[in-house]
């Protein structure tokens, strides 16, 4: 197995799926000759040519709408929007068509497309280039919302997303693109969408996160263990919608204490949905109020205040302590 | 090129069918409770869909908009399934889940009608890409109104379709009104067809009430697309004789304007011609009208006697 960055792992998923299936095509702004702003599609143009790796004009509604039409007639497009903040220009296509055509056609058409976009903070980029608005997509019936947390699961989840019959919004935590390497098998590996995983086992408290914040959460869990002997269980959601609540409910019933961590704005964020599901299904097991450690209800600030905006180890540790001490 | 007799009768039939179908809908809307909600009709514009679809093959794809009944019926959709869908019945083409504004008829290659103005354009471009990619001898037609030509998606779509020489025909039904706005109030250029030059494609202006002219323009554009020479923008100048929807009181449309356009109705224009040319006798015309009347009557009967979907069917054909 080769040790890969997340960028390399996503590239491997695209390359292998394109080799396997001629109907898989890639399109977006500068994804071809240039290989993408983050170099995720590097080498694909050279290997598969301009008919399958297409540089499009700057037209986000177009890119997403074109993908829907391709998907309706037999192709499996993977479109890239350069930053998640630019998906808003094409949001109406995702919301009004990609998400709805299955229901409208009584299941006779589905829209097997993947929209890839880097999301999230931590790279000191401005506003649209750093934000975390997965809730818009997760809130839309008919869309699947996937966010990987490591090279290996990024690759496996993307393969599954490409093969999925329905539209998948796949947000890539850009802070993790080259943050670390992980062994990724050369042989095919898939991962079922709509399933979360236990990233660390524990008995004292349940920490629920995903994407780049999973790593802040893991570091916090590690620090709590080393300094205070606290055994935190960490759940990595991986798919935000449809949300797999079985695993975290089971965990909460075991630990009785929960903190949810995400960098998305707090109000109406994924943490709110997680918390309500816990209240609905594990209320009598809870020993303390569910806490959220999140971004604030603000546009993500400029680089000099970015660290204060994003949940970090200190904020997570504090929330865990307060939950344990309740 | 002379249009064959059968083709002319086919176009006459589809215009008559649409007119009878929609006149029936007008009556049914008035009947409280039978078809609640909205009803958007194309009365006076039938020549556009009937002329364009007569130039298409079954494997050609159409993407339609909120004013879709004519497009779908002419492409070959079953009037019973369309009527039942409009009624919201489980026997409708989409099992009573989409209604009049979102009819989808995969069997006739009409996968998407959308009420999001301009929203169908990029989707049509994507379908055309798929046809080109798979080397199919087929084209995609996108129907849209003059209002849609003001949307950003129009420009993104024409630009890309031209850039990649895709097999697509953009058919603008300029019916002079976008909602309650008259054409001159929302667009400065006299002809939307002029915009084609901005995307290096031909822009044709056609009398949208002359079904034969529409047919010829569509046939030429289709041949061009199939030959790999790229898209065409056809602007069909026509008129919406009824309001935006059936609840619209049309206060903004001058009565004499409506009357003048009613005089230019595309249906007698063609029926008079085929009659004068001796292509159809008075008896045959009456028989055709009677047959269409029976088709529509049967569609209504079918819809009325069909059941509504059960509540739990809302959870079928989707993932949750």
Chain A nearest-CA distance from B135, in A, is 12
Q: Tally the C-alpha atoms within 13 A of residue B227's C-alpha that lie toward its C-beta.
A: 8
Please tell me the predicted confidence (pLDDT) of residue B2.
Answer: 86
Please name which of A175, A198, A170, A207 lies closest in space to residue A26, comparing C-alpha atoms.
Answer: A170
Contact check, Cβ <8 Å, B104/A108: yes
Decide if B314 is inside a domain.
Answer: no
* Non-local CB neighbours of A229 within 8 Å, separated by 6+ positions: none
Average pLDDT of the segment spanning B133-141: 98
Final residue before a domain boundary, out of A158, A184, A210: A184
CATH assignment at residue A320: 3.40.50.920
The lowest-confidence range among A189-203, A309-323, B21-35, B284-298 is: B21-35
- Residue A38 shares a structural domain with residue A152: yes
Does A176 lie in the same domain as A42?
A: yes
Same domain flag for A273 and A158: no
Q: How many domains does chain A have?
A: 2
Q: Are residues A207 and A298 in the same domain?
A: yes
Maximal CA-CA distance, chain B: 59
Contact A69 B121 (CB under 8 A): no
Task: Judge if A118 and A222 occupy the same domain.
Answer: no
A153 and A17 fall within a common domain:
yes
The per-residue pLDDT of chain B, averaged, comes to 96
Model confidence at A134, pLDDT cuts 50, 70, 90, reads very high
Same domain, A165 and A38: yes
Does residue A189 form part of some domain?
A: no
Please check whether residues A25 and A151 belong to one and the same domain: yes
Same domain assignment for residues A169 and A78 = yes
What percent of chain B has pLDDT above 90?
Answer: 94
Please check the confidence at residue A120 and state whether its pLDDT lies above 90: yes
Closest to B211 in 3D by CA, of B203, B219, B223: B219
**Position B1 pLDDT exceeds 90:** no
Q: Mind listing the pLDDT tens digit for each residue in B49-101? A: 999 999 999 999 999 999 999 999 999 999 999 999 999 999 999 999 999 99
Tally of structural domains, chain B: 1
| Interface mutation vs chain B, best among A29, A65, A101, most B CBs within 10 Å | A65
pLDDT of amino acid B77: 98
Quick check: is A191 in a domain? no
User: Does residue A53 carry a pLDDT above 80?
Assistant: yes
Does B310 fall in a domain?
A: no
Q: Inspect the interface and report whether the beta carbons of B106 and A109 lie closer than 8 Å.
A: yes
Residue B296 has a CB neighbour count (10 Å cut-off) of 22
Distance, in Å, from the CA atom of A304 to the CA atom of B139, rounded to the nearest integer, reads 53
Catalytic site residue A129?
Answer: yes
Q: How many inter-chain contacts (A to B, CB under 8 Å) are there?
A: 135
Does the beta carbon of B128 lie under 8 angstroms from any beta carbon of chain A?
yes
Residues 94-123 of B with CB under 8 A from A: 94-95, 97-98, 102, 104, 106, 111-112, 114, 116, 119, 121-123
In a domain, residue A56? The reply is yes
pLDDT digits (tens, 9 = 90+) for B178-235: 999 999 999 999 999 999 999 999 999 999 999 999 999 999 999 999 999 999 999 9
Question: Residue B25's pLDDT is what?
Answer: 95
Residue B42 belongs to some domain of the structure = yes
Decide if A290 is inside a domain: yes
For residue B160, the model assigns a pLDDT of 97
Statement: residue B32 has pLDDT above 80: no
Q: Is residue B33 very low, low, confident or very high in pLDDT (cuts 50, 70, 90)? A: confident
Nearest-CA distance A144 → chain B (Å) = 9
H-type helices in chain A, by residue range?
6-20, 44-48, 60-72, 91-93, 101-104, 134-138, 151-163, 213-228, 246-255, 270-282, 303-309, 313-325
Partner-chain contact B317 A166, CB within 8 Å? no
Set A129, A215, A225, A262: catalytic member: A129
CATH of the domain at A75: 3.40.50.970
Task: Give mean pLDDT, residues B267-295.
Answer: 96
Same domain for A212 and A300, yes or no, is yes
Tell me, what's the pLDDT at B247?
87
What stretches of chain B show up as alpha helix (H) in DSSP? 5-30, 46-54, 69-75, 79-86, 120-133, 152-163, 183-186, 211-226, 255-263, 266-276, 282-305
Predicted confidence (pLDDT) at residue A225 exceeds the cutoff of 90: yes
Examine the domain organization and report whether A113 and A80 are in the same domain: yes
Residue A192 lies in a domain: no
CATH number, domain of B195, equals 3.40.50.970
**Residue B313: inside a domain:** no
A20: pLDDT strictly greater than 80: yes
Q: Would you state the pLDDT for residue A256?
A: 98
Question: What DSSP string runs through B122-191?
Answer: HHHHHHHHHHHHTT-S--EEEEEETGGGGSHHHHHHHHHHHHTT-SEEEEEEE-SEETTEEHHHH--SS-
Q: Residue A70: its chain B contacts at CB < 8 A?
A: 126-127, 129-130, 133
Predicted pLDDT of residue B34: 82
pLDDT at B36: 80
The confidence score (pLDDT) of residue A152 equals 98
ipTM of the complex: 0.95
Residues of A in contact with B133 (CB under 8 A): 25, 51, 70, 75
Q: Provide the pLDDT for residue B38.
A: 86
pLDDT tens-digit map of A243-300? 999 999 999 999 999 999 999 999 999 999 999 999 999 999 999 999 999 999 999 9
Model pLDDT, residue B280: 94
Q: Do B204 and B191 touch, CB atoms closer than 8 A?
A: no
Query: By CB neighbour count within 10 A (0-12 exposed, 13-18 middle, 19+ buried), where does B320 fall?
Result: exposed
Residue B202 resides in a domain = yes
Residue B83 lies in a domain: yes
Residue B122 lies in a domain: yes
- pLDDT beyond 80 at A143: yes
Give the structural domain span for A121: 2-184
B237 is in which domain, residue-wise? 5-305
Residue with tokens 């923008």, as numbered in its chain? B233
Q: Is residue B319 part of a domain?
A: no
pLDDT value at B289 more than 90: yes
| pLDDT for residue B37 | 78
The answer to whether residues A94 and A130 belong to one domain is yes
Are B241 and B258 a contacting pair, CB within 8 Å? yes
pLDDT at A176 over 80: yes
Q: Which tops the pLDDT comparison, B106 or B37?
A: B106
């Amino acid at each position: 197995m080769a040790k890969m960055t997340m960028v390399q792992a996503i590239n491997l998923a695209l390359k292998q799926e394109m080799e396997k299936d001629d109907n898989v095509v890639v399109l977006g702004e500068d994804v071809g000759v240039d290989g993408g702003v983050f170099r995720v599609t590097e080498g694909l143009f050279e290997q598969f040519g301009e008919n399958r790796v297409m540089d499009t004009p700057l037209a986000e509604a177009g890119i997403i709408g074109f993908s829907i039409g391709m998907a309706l007639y037999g192709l499996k497009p993977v479109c890239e929007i350069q930053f998640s903040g630019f998906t808003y220009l094409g949001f109406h296509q995702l919301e009004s068509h990609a998400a709805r055509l299955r229901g409208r056609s009584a299941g006779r058409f589905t829209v097997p497309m993947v929209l890839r976009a880097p999301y999230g903070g931590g790279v000191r980029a401005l506003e649209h280039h750093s934000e975390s608005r997965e809730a818009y997509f997760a809130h839309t019936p008919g869309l699947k919302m996937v966010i990987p947390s490591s090279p290996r699961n990024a690759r496996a989840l993307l393969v599954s997303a490409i093969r999925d019959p329905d539209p998948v919004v796949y947000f890539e935590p850009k802070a993790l693109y080259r943050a670390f390497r992980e062994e990724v098998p050369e042989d095919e590996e898939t991962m079922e969408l709509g399933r979360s995983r236990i990233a660390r086992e524990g008995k004292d408290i349940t920490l629920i996160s995903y994407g780049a914040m999973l790593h802040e959460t893991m570091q916090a869990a590690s620090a709590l263990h080393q300094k205070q002997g606290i055994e935190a269980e960490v759940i990595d959601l991986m798919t935000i919608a449809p949300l797999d609540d079985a695993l975290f409910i089971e965990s909460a019933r075991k630990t009785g204490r929960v903190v949810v961590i995400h960098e998305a704005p707090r109000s109406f964020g994924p943490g709110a949905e997680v918390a309500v599901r816990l209240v609905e299904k594990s209320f009598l097991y809870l020993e303390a109020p569910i806490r959220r450690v999140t971004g604030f209800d603000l546009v993500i600030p400029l680089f000099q205040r970015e660290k204060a905006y994003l949940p970090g180890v200190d904020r997570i540790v504090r929330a865990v302590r307060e939950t344990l001490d309740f | 090129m002379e249009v064959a007799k059968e083709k002319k009768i086919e176009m006459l039939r589809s215009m008559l069918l649409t007119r009878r179908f929609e006149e029936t809908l007008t009556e049914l809307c008035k009947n409280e409770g039978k078809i609640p909600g909205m009803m958007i009709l194309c009365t006076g514009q039938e020549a556009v869909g009937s002329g364009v679809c007569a130039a298409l093959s079954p494997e050609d794809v159409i993407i339609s908009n909120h004013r879709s009944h004519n497009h779908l019926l002419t492409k070959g959709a079953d009037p019973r399934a369309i009527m039942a869908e409009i009624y919201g019945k489980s026997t409708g083409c989409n099992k009573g889940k989409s209604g009049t504004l979102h009819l989808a008829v995969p069997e006739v290659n009409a996968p998407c009608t959308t009420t999001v103005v301009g929203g169908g354009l990029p989707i049509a471009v994507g379908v055309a890409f798929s046809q080109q990619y798979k080397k199919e001898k087929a084209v995609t037609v996108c129907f849209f109104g003059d209002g849609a030509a003001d949307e950003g998606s129009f420009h993104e779509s024409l630009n890309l379709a031209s850039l990649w020489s895709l097999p697509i025909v953009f058919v603008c039904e300029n019916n002079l009104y976008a909602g309650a706005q008259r054409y001159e109030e929302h667009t400065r250029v006299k002809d939307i067809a002029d915009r084609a030059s901005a995307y290096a494609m031909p822009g044709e202006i056609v009398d949208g009430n002359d079904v034969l002219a529409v047919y010829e323009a569509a046939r030429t554009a289709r041949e061009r697309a199939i030959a790999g020479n790229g898209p065409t923008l056809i602007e069909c100048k026509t008129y919406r004789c009824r309001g935006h929807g059936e609840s619209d009181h049309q206060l903004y449309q001058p009565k004499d304007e409506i009357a003048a356009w009613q005089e230019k109705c595309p249906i007698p224009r063609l029926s008079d011609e085929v009659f004068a040319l001796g292509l159809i006798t008075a008896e045959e015309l009456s028989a055709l009208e009677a047959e269409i009347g029976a088709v529509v009557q049967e569609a209504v009967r079918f819809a009325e006697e069909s059941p509504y979907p059960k509540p739990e069917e809302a959870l079928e054909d989707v993932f949750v």
